[in-house]
Each structure stands twice: as C-alpha cells, then as structure tokens.
C-alpha cells in the first residue's frame, strides 16, 4: 500500500534513472546498484549540525511514532494504555539486561493470558543520578498488570502503575526531559518498542529514515547500511548515496549538500501523514 507511486522503492513503477552497470557499480560490490544523481552540486548549501539536538530529534521521532502507531491502530474501545515506572533502589543499581528481563516477564505473563504485548519505553536519569524507566503498555480492557516488584520481575527497586489518559502525550513528557548531556550508564539504551503488527512495522521504519531518503523511498522499502558503500535497499540491491557530506571543522560538525536526487519529492509529509501528528 505504497502511496508514493513515483518512488524508486515500493510497488510503484520501476525507476528509470538508475545508472547502467559500470565500473562504479562493480566497485560497489555484487548485487549493489548505485542510483544516478544530479550533476549540479550545491557547495554553498552547508549547515552546522548540533549533535545533541540531532540525537534528541531522532529519539523523539522514534518514540512518538511508535506510540502513535499503537494509539491509532488499537483505539480506545478495546485497549487501555498503562504507564509503568521502574525505579532503582540504588543509584548505581543499573545493569544493561534489566529492562530486557522485565519485558520478557511481562511478555510471558500476557502470553499466558492469551494476549500480545505492545509497548514503548524510554529511559530517564533522575536528579540523584539514578536511572529509571517509563514503559507504556497497551492492555486489553479488563486486564490489569500486577506490580512487577511484587512479582519478583523487578527486584532492583520499586514500580508504579497508572492508567494514561493521553498515552502519546504522557510518553512525550518524559522524552522532552532528556537534555542529551546526561551521563547515562555504560550500555544503557535510551528507548525501545515492540509488538507492532505487519501494517505498522513498515510505517515506523519509513518514519525513522533520514529526511532526504524519505523523499525517495516507498513505505515498503527496507534499507541496511553497508560499510564503505552506503544505504542499500534489501529487496533490490539499490545503493542510494547520501547527498550530504559531513566534515569536522575544528570543533564544529558541518554538513554540505553536494547534489540533489533528480526524483526526490519536495516537502514530503509521508505516505501516512493523514494519520495526523507524526513528526517527520
């Protein structure tokens, strides 16, 4: 259900601007085809990248997109969002596998109840320096999650469960608190999600692409980063070079646009922008 019929990746028409196989294609490796680009560079089109803000933008986009997909797909009649807060007893109590083990317990509990687990979580650093987590769970109405600390699923501290009236807003509140400068423990992931169905997975993947690639890629495309080559679409083997060159000038990170892909769409809002509220 690709809404970008002119896209080079998806169910739209076959792209006509792919360069013929040649030396450049052979150098990229077997099965990889470099997409032909415009010959008109833009050497003066440079911007300075704030690495902290860029990291925050990626975090917010990934978390809010996942939460909104659940909220849109599940609705409120049959499911109710619950916010689970996990707090450490000791400031240095964090270990990398704790959140994964907790989620595994909840997943097994929900499976025994005959339900699929759908969740989004974010990490937050408290003022006292201890890490804690906020986990948003979509539970079928009539099902209440037991307190993980009482069940022995979270033996590291305390837990609190409350129903969230505005699931997305509730989660975004904690995402906005992250300032990007916090000294997080080694091995700490900032966020995660799981339980998306086959409809939501490609949408979430598309929204997490770089902005320049969204203007080319169909929602059903799937990219992998190949070292020394670039972003490669799994299904077709097409290698799409980034139009931006990133360089370090003193302590500043500068991105310069060298070219424009000829069939890129302008002001792209996304194939599922009618869902409303998605941050591109």
Write out pLDDT tens, residues 41-96: 444 688 888 877 787 888 888 888 898 899 888 877 889 999 999 999 998 889 99
pLDDT digit string, tens, across residues 212-262? 888 888 888 889 888 888 889 988 888 888 888 889 888 888 989 888 888
At the top level of CATH, which class does the domain 52-197 belong to? Answer: alpha beta
H/E element, 60: helix 51-74
pTM for the whole thing?
Answer: 0.72
- Domain positions in the chain are 23-36+201-275, 52-197
Nearest CA to 240 among 13, 62, 2, 19?
A: 19
* Distance in angstroms (rounded) separating the CA atoms of residues 56 and 115: 33
Q: At 279, is the pLDDT very low, low, confident or very high (cuts 50, 70, 90)?
A: very low
pLDDT: which is higher, 183 or 214: 214
Radius of gyration, CA atoms only, the chain: 22
Q: Report the mean per-residue pLDDT for the chain.
A: 78
């Amino acid at each position: 259900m690709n809404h970008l019929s002119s896209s080079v990746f998806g169910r739209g028409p076959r792209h006509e601007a792919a360069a013929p196989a040649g030396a450049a294609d052979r150098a990229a490796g077997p099965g990889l085809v470099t997409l032909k680009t415009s010959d008109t560079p833009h050497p003066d089109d440079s911007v300075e990248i704030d690495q902290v803000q860029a990291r925050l933008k990626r975090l917010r986009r990934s978390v809010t997109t996942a939460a909104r997909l659940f909220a849109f797909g599940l609705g409120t009649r049959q499911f109710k969002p619950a916010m689970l807060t996990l707090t450490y007893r000791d400031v240095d109590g964090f270990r990398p596998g704790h959140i994964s083990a907790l989620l595994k317990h909840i997943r097994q509990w929900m499976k025994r109840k005959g339900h699929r687990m759908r969740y989004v979580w974010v990490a937050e650093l408290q003022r006292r320096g201890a890490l804690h987590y906020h986990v948003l769970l979509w539970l079928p109405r009539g099902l209440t999650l037991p307190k993980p600390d009482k069940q022995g699923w979270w033996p590291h501290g305390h837990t609190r469960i409350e129903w969230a009236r505005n699931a997305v807003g509730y989660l975004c509140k904690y995402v906005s608190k992250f300032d990007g400068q916090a000294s997080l423990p080694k091995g700490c992931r900032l966020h995660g999600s799981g339980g998306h169905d086959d409809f939501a997975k490609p949408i979430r993947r598309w929204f997490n692409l770089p902005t320049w690639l969204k203007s080319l890629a169909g929602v059903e495309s799937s990219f992998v980063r190949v070292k020394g080559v670039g972003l490669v679409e799994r299904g077709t083997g097409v290698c799409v070079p980034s139009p931006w060159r990133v360089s370090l000038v003193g302590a500043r990170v500068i991105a310069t646009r060298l070219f424009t892909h000829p069939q890129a769409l302008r002001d792209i809002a996304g194939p599922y922008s009618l869902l409303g509220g998605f941050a591109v």
